[in-house]
Amino acid sequence: MLNLNETVHLEPQSQIYKGSYSGTIINIADSTFIITMPYENGKLVLLSVGTMLKVDIPEKEISFISEVINRTFVPEPSLVLTLPIQFSDKKTNKQTKFISITSGKGGVGKTSFTINLGITLSRMGYRTFIIDADLGTANVDVLLNMHPKYNLNDILNKEKDILDIIIEGPGGIQVVPGGSGLQNLADLDEWQFSRLINSFQTLEKYADIILIDTGAGLSKNVVNFILASDEIIVVTTPEPHAITDAYAIIKVMDNRDSSLKPKLVLNRVESPEEARQVTKKMIQVTDRFLTLKLDSLGYILEDSHVLKAIKRLRPFVLTDPQSPASQCVKNIAQKIVHPEETNQLEVRKSFFNRFKELFNK
């Protein structure tokens, strides 16, 4: 564990600052810690947000990889760094929220949205994990330019534990890489299924929010992840075919559990007015033909910064935090952690119990 007033040594991966520097720990939170900004030759070392660091504490023989996620200058110059999962305090009684993010079809920006939402939630102080459950075509690591050595397959093969395969992503997120061999998840034997469930339960000790990036479409795997989650986000674009496909998966939800309350996110809209009009029409249609209640969680404006960031394999909320799209994601994150309706009196079974029941059907 880290302690206040402890000296840490930093080796940044930076084109500007290539030396070894030191700082003192002045604050420790659940998923971050703050150190005094280092000096070199009497001048502040202004490590930029996004800089990766090797952190060493020689006295304890501790070494880990971290990232600068913020810089502050009041009351004193300091850096906010990510704290690896193994140094986080285990959760005790705070319930983890599981959120499935899905879409009726591919190509609507679901995975990009999941990544940028996760980073935004992490920078708001919530320990956020992303499970890449797009079984068979896992691509969270691709968009983040990460090269995981292990994935969920290694858990099923009993070669690794869940904490062994987790990758520290940018902005403080933790990523659980998927595996191409998981298309037949419903066909797992009892031992494999139990191991998968127990692995996910382990994450509950560390996470405040777990985002499940499901596959697109109506497969049994996708539907089961959705039905087991505490909250469901359906991502679509204003294109007619995308809306039709989104409605199709919402209809499947209604047929399976009409008490669900999925939230709609419209991606790549030209204006707030277009978002309002499309959202209004979708809610009207679901109100007329379905039993479940569809709500709006927000929209993301068409933004050239997004495509540029994707080409660079970097999340746009980090490359352009003030861009229109980044502000839209921030608004959505605020609604997730501060919902207007807090009188949810219905007590649902845990994610894991629901997950077990669904896959045993």
Predicted model pTM = 0.77
pLDDT recorded at residue 243: 96
Residue 154 maps to a domain: yes
CATH number at residue 11: 2.30.110.10
Burial degree of 340 (CB within 10 A; 0-12, 13-18, 19+): exposed
Q: State how many domains the chain has.
A: 2
In a domain, 262, yes or no: yes
261 lies in which domain range? 97-359
Distance CA 284, CA 12 (A): 53
76 and 132 fall within a common domain: no
27 & 172 share domain: no
Task: Identify whether residues 34 and 73 lie together within a single domain.
Answer: yes
- The answer to whether position 2 is within a domain reads no
Task: Give, for all 361 residues of the chain, the pLDDT tens digit.
Answer: 788 999 999 999 887 888 899 999 999 887 789 999 999 989 999 998 888 888 999 888 888 888 888 888 988 999 999 887 667 655 555 688 999 999 988 889 999 999 999 999 998 889 999 998 865 566 898 899 998 998 888 887 778 888 889 998 999 899 999 866 555 554 556 556 667 777 777 888 889 999 999 876 677 767 877 888 899 999 999 999 999 999 999 999 999 999 999 999 999 999 999 999 999 999 999 999 999 999 999 999 999 999 999 999 999 999 999 999 999 999 999 999 988 644 443 445 667 667 667 766 6
Find out whether 148 and 174 touch, Cβ atoms under 8 Å: no
Q: Same domain, yes or no, for 123 and 246?
A: yes
* 326 lies in some domain: yes
Are both 61 and 153 inside the same structural domain? no
What CATH number does residue 169 fall under? 3.40.50.300
My answer on whether 170 and 38 are in the same domain is: no
Indicate whether 1 belongs to any domain.
no
Looking at the structure, tell me whether residues 166 and 266 fall in a common domain: yes
